[in-house]
């Protein structure tokens, strides 16, 4: 992996974590049928929105380190006609403003789901733009459907882990809807399976080019990444099912937090792997 | 030229006759006052072959050729497509130029270009590359590299004209398939070099 790509690893992860956290939290929030049920999740939404904004701002600060002239960064939205980087900047600004608008609206007791919906849609658009940015026709290992697949899955996986954590941390103050933690854990398991496919697909696309990275070059890293995410998802699921037996609060909590940490670590490793398989055609 | 007429300038290189002397590379560096470690034109050495035993005798099929490369000023320049600030643009002569006042140094063009043309200038904090010596060309002159070529194998001209004169070939190992960005270059290579591109490797990779 090129050293100068390190800020991009963290920028993409933090931005996708922000989108995932807000989108999954918002979906949990609007899926409650009654206003009373939604009102009971206010504390949880407050935590999620705050975490989203912190992640987004952190990602932005790291992104400016990648630019060699950040003072001219405002010019980066000049080419939305052809540049996915310009589109990403614009969608990022839109997402950030929507989340901020959602937070302010809730603070002012204006509880319309539409502001959150706009934020979630712009956020998913932002993740799509980030994935298209890397789908350069001169980089075969990135220019295939596995890239948006992987980026979206990372967004939802990290979002699920963060949303589950926010729910757990606010469980004393909010009424956690029945079956929700189990649903989130099963979602994490399914997404891990999809993520395992994505990297294999991308390496298959680059295999036909002479001298390009193959699965064998990254076998150990790939397997470690899949194992981390899978173990994390399983631990998350175990913590929600009561399999550890009654009166095991500490053990359940440990299973949950270690599971969430493993899941996020798997995605971090996966992002390093994504940048490690970069290779251009030609020189 | 009047009004909004456009043309596509391009380089042509007779690979069979290029000796790899690097006069073009040095001239470019001198004319543009490039700092140490920064090259806008590079000479790639491609080589292959081996010793082969035929009955009781040993013979060899070793070969080498040189390709003087700079920005290809592609017809479908990917650097222009991806640049978020429109610093990388194509003018009426088809020359792709990076405006240092608009460049933010994101290196997206470097990530995308299959010819490795955009290079980061640490001193100026911007991406830079060959600009076809557009100051000379606009005054009716020739690029510094073309002037410096002692073997007269490197030339330039309107792309359609040089394709008619030399044939349309613009793909030679290690250059990528021309369909990616449609490079504005004509490469003359008559002699067969190896059985396939698998027989060839880059001989001066560290230098590049």
Nearest to B105 among A69, A86, A278 (CB): A69
- Mean pLDDT, chain B, as a whole number? 90
Probe site for chain A from B67, B81, B85 (most A CB atoms < 10 A): B85
Q: Which residue of B has its CA nearest to A137?
A: B180
pLDDT tens digits, one per residue of B70-91: 999 999 999 999 999 999 999 9
Residues of A in contact with B176 (CB under 8 A): 138, 281-283
CB contact under 8 A, B198 and A79: no
Per-residue pLDDT, B197: 61
Residues of B in contact with A72 (CB under 8 A): 85, 102-104
Contact yes or no for A276/A218 (Cβ under 8 A): yes
Residues in CB range of B78: below 8 A, 6 or more apart: A136, A137, A138, B109, B112, B113, B114, B180, B181
Whether B108 has its CB under 8 Å from any CB of chain A: the answer is yes
Nearest to B84 among A68, A76, A280 (CB): A76
More confident residue, A114 or B35: B35
Residues of A in contact with B39 (CB under 8 A): none
Residues of A in contact with B103 (CB under 8 A): 69, 72
Q: Which of B48, B61, B60, B22 is nearest to B203 (CA)?
A: B48
CB contact under 8 A, A137 and B208: no
Please determine, for residue B1, whether its predicted confidence score (pLDDT) is greater than 60.
no
Residues of B in contact with A67 (CB under 8 A): 104-106
Residues of B in contact with A129 (CB under 8 A): none
pLDDT tens digits, one per residue of B122-165: 999 999 999 999 999 999 999 999 999 999 999 999 999 999 98
Whether B148 has its CB under 8 Å from any CB of chain A: the answer is no
What gap in Å lies between CA A235 and CA A238, rounded to an integer? Answer: 5
Mean pLDDT per 10-residue interval, chain A, length 283 residues: 86 95 91 80 87 93 84 90 95 94 86 86 96 94 90 91 85 71 83 82 71 73 87 86 69 85 91 89 86
Entry pTM: 0.89
- A227 burial type by CB count under 10 A (0-12 exposed, 13-18 middle, 19+ buried): middle
CA distance B138 to chain A (A): 27
Q: Which residue of B has its CA nearest to A82?
A: B81
Nearest to B114 among A66, A85, A281 (CB): A281
Q: Mean pLDDT, to the nearest integer, of B54-63?
A: 90
CB contact under 8 A, A138 and B208: no
**Total beta-carbon pairs less than 8 A apart between chain A and chain B:** 101
Q: Decide: helix, strand or coil at residue A231.
A: helix
CA distance B68 to chain A (A): 13
ipTM value: 0.87
Task: Tell me the H-state helices in chain B.
Answer: 23-31, 78-82, 108-112, 134-138, 144-148, 159-166
Residues of B in contact with A86 (CB under 8 A): 84
Q: Verify cis geometry, omega within 30 degrees of 0, for the bond prior to B45.
A: no
Q: Which residue of A has its CA nearest to B126?
A: A68
Q: Mean pLDDT, to the nearest integer, of B46-51?
A: 88
Q: Decide: helix, strand or coil at residue A86.
A: helix
Residues of A in contact with B187 (CB under 8 A): none
Q: Which residue is associated with the tokens 């003018």?
A: B91
Whether B187 has its CB under 8 Å from any CB of chain A: the answer is no
CA distance A82 to chain B (A): 5
What gap in Å lies between CA A13 and CA A122, rounded to an integer? Answer: 17
């Amino acid at each position: 992996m090129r050293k100068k790509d390190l800020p991009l690893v963290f920028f993409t992860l933090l931005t996708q974590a922000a989108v995932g956290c807000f989108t999954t939290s918002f979906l949990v929030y609007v899926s409650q049928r009654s206003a009373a049920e939604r009102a009971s999740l206010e504390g949880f939404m407050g935590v999620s929105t705050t975490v989203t904004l912190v992640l987004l701002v952190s990602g932005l600060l790291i992104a400016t380190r990648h630019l060699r002239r950040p003072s001219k960064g405002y010019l980066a939205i000049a080419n939305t006609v052809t540049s996915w980087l310009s589109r990403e900047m614009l969608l990022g600004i839109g997402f950030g403003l929507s989340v901020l608008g959602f937070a302010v609206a809730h603070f002012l007791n204006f509880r319309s789901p539409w502001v959150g919906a706009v934020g979630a849609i712009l956020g998913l658009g932002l993740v799509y733009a980030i994935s298209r940015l890397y789908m350069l026709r001169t980089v075969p290992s990135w220019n295939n459907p596995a890239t948006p697949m992987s980026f979206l899955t990372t967004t939802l996986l990290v979002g699920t882990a963060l949303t589950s954590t926010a729910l757990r941390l606010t469980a004393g103050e909010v009424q956690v809807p029945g079956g929700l933690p189990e649903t989130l854990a099963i979602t994490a398991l399914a997404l891990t399976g999809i993520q395992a496919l994505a990297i294999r697909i991308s390496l298959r696309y680059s295999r036909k080019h002479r001298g390009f990275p193959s699965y064998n070059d990254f076998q150990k890293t790939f397997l470690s990444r899949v194992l981390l995410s899978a173990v994390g998802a399983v631990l998350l699921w175990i913590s929600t099912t009561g399999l550890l037996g009654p009166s095991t609060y500490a053990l359940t909590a440990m299973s949950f937090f270690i599971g969430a940490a493993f899941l996020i670590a798997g995605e971090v490793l996966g992002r390093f792997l994504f940048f490690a398989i970069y290779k251009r055609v030609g020189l | 030229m009047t009004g909004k007429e456009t043309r596509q300038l391009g380089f042509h290189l007779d690979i069979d006759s290029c000796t790899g002397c690097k006069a073009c590379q040095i001239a470019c560096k001198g004319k543009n006052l490039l700092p140490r470690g920064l090259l806008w034109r590079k000479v790639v050495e491609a080589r292959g072959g081996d010793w082969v035993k035929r009955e009781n005798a040993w013979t060899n099929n070793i070969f080498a050729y040189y390709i003087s490369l700079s920005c290809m000023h592609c017809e479908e320049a990917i650097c222009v497509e991806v640049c978020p600030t429109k610093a990388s643009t194509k003018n009426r002569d088809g020359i792709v130029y990076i405006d240092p006042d608009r460049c933010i140094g994101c290196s997206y063009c470097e990530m995308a270009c299959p010819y490795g043309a955009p290079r980061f200038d640490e001193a100026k904090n911007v991406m830079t590359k060959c600009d076809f010596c557009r100051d000379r060309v606009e005054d009716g002159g020739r690029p510094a590299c073309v002037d410096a070529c002692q073997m007269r194998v490197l030339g330039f001209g309107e792309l359609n004209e040089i394709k008619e004169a030399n044939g349309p070939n613009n793909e030679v190992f290690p250059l990528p398939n021309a369909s990616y960005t449609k490079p504005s270059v004509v490469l003359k290579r008559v002699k067969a070099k190896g059985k396939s591109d698998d027989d060839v490797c880059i001989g001066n990779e560290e230098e590049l």
